[in-house]
Amino acid sequence: MPRCNAAVESKMDSDLAKIYAVTGSASGMGHAVVERLRQQGHTVVGVDIKDADVVADLSTAAGRRAAAQEVLTACSGKLDGAVLAAGLGPTPRAERRITQVNYFGVTDLLEAWRSSLAKASRPKVVVFSSNSTTTVPVVPHRAVRSLLEGDPDKALRAYKFYGRAAPAMAYAASKIAVSRWVRRTAVTPEWAGAGIRLNALAPGAILTPLLERQLATPAEAENIRRFPVPIGGFGDPRQLAEWVVFMLSDSADFLCGSVVFVDGGSDAYFRADDWPRAVPARQLGSYLHRTRRFLNRTSP
Ligand code: NAD
């Protein structure tokens, strides 16, 4: 096919209305994403615990299985993209629900949807992380490791000694674990190799019902307002929705396994010199090993 025809075909393809699944569609940033995608003429299957096309409780394995299946039925087995925005903030005494929704509510659904995403042309997935991943101190490594190993009970035991800070630890650990899962998974043959682009967005404090609930508690409000945000104020959910829509668009074809921080500068303020960082000498062995493994994998 001549070059210009291929370009026209690809443009037409990208202009077609697509079908997306969005979790957390009833409120905040998930809702703003749904509105924006529908304005653009796309079909959205919203998933939430209330007020959604698919009503499901993502804090239980049964709820996640039902949600995954209902979305697959609604999209007839082919999904152009997914946005995983359902999540709980650091709510008191909710460590288990935070863990289940914020981590397994992403990984279980995406594993169930992977083959339907692979059937689409230029499929994209955006997972909501948080700048808590890099700005909350002393999050227990054991919890993050346990989540990545699929053991939520072990993760929950790691928060026992944190007292009132346990929900904040569960929240940050769930977001660190889900971000690592995104980075590890995005680059595999099953995802990158199948043409699926998987990335994460890490917002700072965005003025949504989640943040409003935190601001309604005087002690939490005080902590939030004292937290360093170099540009000041809170983010706007509609602006974050624009980032998501961009990360779902054809312009994001080369984005893979990235965690994009949109947080008013807090991550840069606390962690300016931590990243990017050269591979340290002690990791040279595994770096070379991964290079060789990749070359073997892709050689004809
Ligand atoms: P929000 O509370 O406005 O919306 C979250 C949605 O998730 C709600 O509609 C809620 O019903 C849904 N949800 C919660 N538990 C559920 C369950 N068990 N099953 C199904 N759905 C459930 O929050 P938001 O601020 O729009 O947050 C969206 C995402 O962004 C979350 O993952 C959150 O952790 C993350 N985030 C938010 C902020 C912020 O400041 N708002 C900052 C960083 C990251």
Atom of ligand 1 nearest to the CA of 234: 40
Q: Rounded to the nearest 5 degrees, what angle is found at the Cα of 256, between the Cα atoms of 103 and 180?
A: 30
Give the mean pLDDT of 111-139: 98
Ligand 1 contact, 28 CB (< 6 A):
yes
Atom of ligand 1 nearest to the CA of 59: 18
Q: Give yes or no for a contact between 25 and 52, defined as CB atoms under 8 angstroms apart.
A: yes
- pLDDT, tens only, 245-264: 999 999 999 999 999 999 99
Ligand 1 contact, 27 CB (< 6 A):
yes
Give the mean pLDDT of 210-232: 96
Q: Which residues are catalytically annotated?
A: 171
What is the 89 CA–ligand 1 centroid distance (Å)? 7
Ligand 1 contact, 87 CB (< 6 A):
yes
The chain-wide mean pLDDT, for the chain, equals 94
Ligand 1 contact, 94 CB (< 6 A):
no
CA gap 204, 72 in Å, rounded? 32
pLDDT surpassing 50 at residue 10: no
Q: Can you give the pLDDT at residue 140?
A: 98
The residue ranges of DSSP E strands in the chain, in sequence order, are 19-23, 43-48, 54-55, 81-84, 124-128, 197-203, 259-262
Q: Give yes or no for a contact between 66 and 108, defined as CB atoms under 8 angstroms apart.
A: no
Check residue 278 and report its DSSP letter: P
What is the 210 CA–ligand 1 centroid distance (Å)? 6
Q: Which of 155, 124, 127, 153 is nearest to 139 (CA)?
A: 155
As given in the structure block, the two tokens for residue 123 are: 């499929």
CA gap 104, 94 in Å, rounded? 15
Ligand 1: residue whose CA is nearest its atom 35: 128
| CATH code linked to domain 16-298 | 3.40.50.720
- Which residues neighbour 88 within 8 Å (Cβ) at sequence distance 6 or greater? 94, 97, 98, 101, 102, 171, 210
For the chain, give every domain's residue range: 16-298
Q: What is the pTM of this model?
A: 0.95
Q: Hey, which residues does 127 pair with through a beta bridge?
A: 84, 200
Atom of ligand 1 nearest to the CA of 89: 34
CA gap 211, 227 in Å, rounded? 13
Q: Give yes or no for a contact between 252 and 124, defined as CB atoms under 8 angstroms apart.
A: yes
pLDDT surpassing 70 at residue 107: yes
- Strand order of the β-sheet with 81-84 is 54-55, 43-48, 19-23, 81-84, 124-128, 197-203, 259-262
